[in-house]
A = this chain, B = another copy of it.
Amino acid sequence: MKAPDFTLTAGPTPASARTLNALGSQLVYHLDPTFIETFRRTTEKAQAFFRTTNDMLLLQGEGILGLEGAARSLTRPGMHVLNLVQGIYGKGMGQWLESYGCVLHEIEVAYDSAVDPDDVDAYLTAHPEIELVTIVHSETPSGTLSDCSRLGPIARRHGALTLVDALSSIGGSPFEADAWELDVCISGGQKCLGGPVGITMASVSPAAWERILSNENAPRYSYLSLIDWKVAWLENGTFPFTPSVTDVMGLEAALDAMLEEGIENSIARHAHAAAVTRAGVRAMGLELWPVSDEISGNPITAVRVPDGIVHTELSAHIRERYGVMLSTGSSAGNIIHIAHMGPTATGLYPIVGLTALGSGLRDLGVDVDLGAGVEAAMAVLSAGPVGAR
């Protein structure tokens, strides 16, 4: 099969030429003074991206490495943890926490919904023994957000730390690590940054460090260790092992582009692409997956796949027939995405996604008003900010 003409997935997304050039840059030795400077600059730019002054670690693997490393570092057997579940990533965190021996508390809602912060407040009031709240800010497969702007302050007021999976939100939906009083936040390169997969950013608050450093169960001398990076990099300016030179250079370029654009502008760009896409989806006669736009993240439009059609088969058909790669809801539900994440959250890319999705559904026998979809989407697009250009 040919390479796809268009990749409109919920990450990895296409990268800009600038990021690709950085990824294809000549490798340098990791202790070369220029690379150490690159690493330092990248760390600082990641802080700006998270809007935090907390310590920032660049972990050398996909986002799941950061989530596992942080979860293991923050927990110990017998510890009470409140895990918020509104999708499969939240569900998986609970399974991890149980396997680490934590006493698991969960607030779970349907995967097209969002946990109500008031319920969390009430739960924490009822359970003062809870020391940690684990949150997925953006449930990628279902395209929903949780309200971290309230969850962070609630947890802190109750004396609990927070661990936040913000892989697919930062840069596309509003996110404020410090203003929202979040302790450990994890994000990755391959989502709204349009960058490399193999690197994870993790911010750690002083309170979180205090917990981690005093935790005998926190990984040490391990690929999973946050402490190793604190000792090596933060305290001594060197590395616990060879970092992925390529991914660091790619991440810096992607962060540069983000910060030069301005995070607010990037969020607005994602929001506009979402509005265009969602108008089109509705006008085609399809249904969005999240119960409301308020809980929908900007970078992903999650669409309910009509009964009788399996999301992965739909996606495979569209890829083969139209050269467009769309991602799906995985086990979260019968969902297909039109993502507008990173470099494709602009211009006519949503039209490509709408046309591919509408035509693919039609090929499988669904009655879709493609023309109306394009018309509705273009009406929103044409009314939008010219400044997007």
B-binding residues in A (CB < 8 A): 1-7, 9, 11-15, 17, 20-21, 23-34, 37, 60-65, 68-69, 95-96, 99, 190, 194, 196-199, 221-224, 241-247, 250, 316, 319-325, 327, 346-349, 351-352, 355-356, 358-359, 362-363, 370-372, 374-375, 378, 381-382, 386, 389
Contacts and interface: CB of A to CB of B under 8 A. Distances in A.
- A-B pairs, top 6 by smallest CB distance, nearest first, are A24-B24, A371-B371, A198-B244, A323-B347, A198-B198, A5-B347
Q: Which of A3, A14, A29, A352 has the most CB of B within 10 A?
A: A29
Given A28-B3, A68-B223, A242 B348 contact: no
A371 B378 CA distance: 10
Given A27-B190, A242-B190, A355-B378, A4 B34 contact: yes
Contact of A197 (B2, B26, B244, B359): B244
A281 to B, nearest CB: 15
Given A221-B99, A363-B382, A27 B5 contact: no
Nearest to A244: B198
Given A14-B26, A375-B370, A319 B33 contact: yes
Contacts of A352: 348, 351-352
A33 to B, nearest CB: 5
Nearest to A369: B371
B31 A242 contact: no
Nearest to A371: B371
Nearest to A16: B3
